[in-house]
Amino acid sequence: MATIRTRSRTREMLLRLSAYLAILVALILTLFPVYWIAANSFKFDIDIFAVPPEWVPRNPTLKHYDEAFVQRPFLRYALNSFLVAIGTTVISVTFGTMAGYALARFSYPWQWRKQISFWILSTRMMPPIVSIIPLYLFFNYFDMLNTKSALIIAYTAFNLPFATWMMKSYFQDLPVELEEAAIVDGDTRWGAFVHVALPLARPGLAATAIFCLIISWNEFLLSLVITLTEQSQTLPIGIAGRVTQYSTYWGEISAAGFMACVPIVIFAFLVQKHLVRGLSLGAVKG
Partner 1 sequence: MASVRFDNVTKKFGEFVAVHDFNLEIRDKEFLVLLGPSGCGKTTTMRMVAGLEEATTGDIYINSERINDVLPKYRDVAMVFQSYALYPHLSVEDNIGYPLKIRKVPPEEYKRRIGEVARRVELDTMLKRLPKELSGGQRQRVALARAIVRTPRVFLMDEPLSNLDAKLRTQMRAELKHLQHELQVTTIYVTHDQIEAMTLAHRVAVMNRGVIEQLGTPREIYNDPRTLFVAGFIGSPAMNLIPGEVKDGVFASAGLRVGGAGRISIARAVLGVRPEDVHAASAEDPDVNLVASIYSVELTGENTLVSLQLGGRLMTLRADKNFAGQIDQRLGVRIETDRMFLFDAETERRVDF
Minimum distance, C-beta of residue 271 to partner 1, in the bound complex (Å): 17
173 lies in the binding site for partner 1 (CB under 8 A): no
Q: Which residues pair with 243 in a beta bridge?
A: 248
Residue 255's nearest CA partner among 42, 19, 5, 26 is: 42
Task: By CB under 8 A, name the one of 188, 229, 248, 272 that touches partner 1.
Answer: 188
In this complex, which beta carbon is closest to partner 1, that of residue 198 or of residue 221?
A: 198
**Identity of the residue, 104 or 160, whose beta carbon is nearer to partner 1 in the bound complex:** 104
Question: Binding segment for partner 1 among 144-152, 164-172, 183-191, 260-268 (CB under 8 A)?
Answer: 183-191
Q: Which of residues 197-256 bind partner 1 (CB under 8 A)?
A: 199-200
End-to-end Cα distance, the chain: 42
Q: Is 275 in the site for partner 1 (CB under 8 A)?
A: no
Which amino acid belongs to residue 285?
A: K
Which region, judged by CB under 8 A, interacts with partner 1, from 120-128, 164-172, 221-229, 277-285?
277-285
Task: Give the nearest distance from C-beta 276 to partner 1 in angstroms.
Answer: 13
Q: How far apart are CA 23 and CA 27, in angstroms?
A: 6
Residue 194 CB, shortest distance to partner 1, in Å, is: 12
Binds partner 1 by CB under 8 A, chosen from 46, 186, 244, 245: 186
Q: Residue 286 interacts with partner 1 (CB under 8 A)? A: yes
Query: Per CB under 8 A, does 283 bind partner 1?
Result: yes
Q: Is 172 in the site for partner 1 (CB under 8 A)?
A: no
Q: Which of 122, 175, 220, 276 binds partner 1 (CB under 8 A)?
A: 175
Is 285 a residue that touches partner 1 (CB under 8 A)? yes
Where does this chain bind partner 1 (CB under 8 A)? 175, 177-178, 180-188, 191, 195-196, 199-200, 279-286
